[in-house]
Amino acid sequence: MFYRKNVGAGERWGRLLGGALIVACSLTLVGLTPLGIALALSGVVTALTGLVGYCPMCALAGRAPVEGPK
């Protein structure tokens, strides 16, 4: 892999759920306006960081990689 995971298992589930909720709420409450689409895209990025287990902004802030099971 080209990266080391820096998001733990619990946070990964939270990011997946939160990203899905952001997408659902932005498209239902704001609609297909430019603001709604931008909010939905931010939800997709949030869910993808949970799915992959790597957050570039966390790495930029200096967050240490997560150790795997031993």
Q: Which domain holds residue 14?
A: 9-59
Whole-angstrom Cα distance, residue 67 to residue 70?
Answer: 9
Tell me, what's the pLDDT at 70?
54
Nearest to 67 by CA among 3, 2, 1, 8: 8
Nearest to 7 by CA among 47, 64, 61: 64
The token duo for 59 is 């790495």
Average model confidence (pLDDT) across the chain: 88
φ/ψ (deg, to 5) at 43: -65, -40
**Is residue 18 within 8 Å of residue 49, measured between CB atoms?**
no
- Give 25-45 pLDDT, tens digit per residue: 999 999 899 999 999 999 999
pTM (predicted TM-score) = 0.81
**Tally of domains in the chain:** 1
